[in-house]
Amino acid sequence: MLNIRFVPIARREFEDARDWYEERNRGLGQRFEAAVHAKLLSIREHPELYAVAHNDLREASVGKFPYTIYFRVDIDEVIVASVFHNSRNPDVWQSRLDDA
């Protein structure tokens, strides 16, 4: 099974979003975290099911939350490049392609 590795900025995006949801409504941050983890499990098992967004970077929507996980598959791991809010400018995550 593939390992999952976040690039540092993607980890911060995820944690900031989780914390933001939790501050707004107790338990909502935990639900966001669970939704992200469930999507990561699906990606880990079948990464090829997700559409290519740009070059070799794929995208997976996070269920009921307006976030998309952008990732690439390496030999033995899934590299998460971004956990990105859908209302943000996509140029931001696309500028990180060399980091992932």
The average pLDDT across 13-37 equals 97
**23, two tokens:** 């501050």
* Residue 44: CB atoms within 10 Å: 16
Contact of 48 with 61, CB cutoff 8 Å: no
Domain boundaries, the chain: 3-94
The pLDDT of residue 45 is 94
Task: Using the predicted structure, report yes or no on whether residue 89 has a pLDDT greater than 90.
Answer: no
Residue 7 vs residues 35, 78, 95: alpha-carbon distances, Å:
19, 11, 13
Task: Using the predicted structure, report yes or no on whether residue 94 has a pLDDT greater than 80.
Answer: no
Identity (one letter) of the amino acid at 21?
Y
Per CATH, is 3-94 categorized as 3.30.2310.20? Answer: yes
**24, two tokens:** 């707004």
Q: How confident is the model at residue 56 (pLDDT cuts 50, 70, 90)?
A: confident
Q: How confident is the model at residue 92 (pLDDT cuts 50, 70, 90)?
A: low
Task: Using the predicted structure, report yes or no on whether residue 29 has a pLDDT greater than 70.
Answer: yes
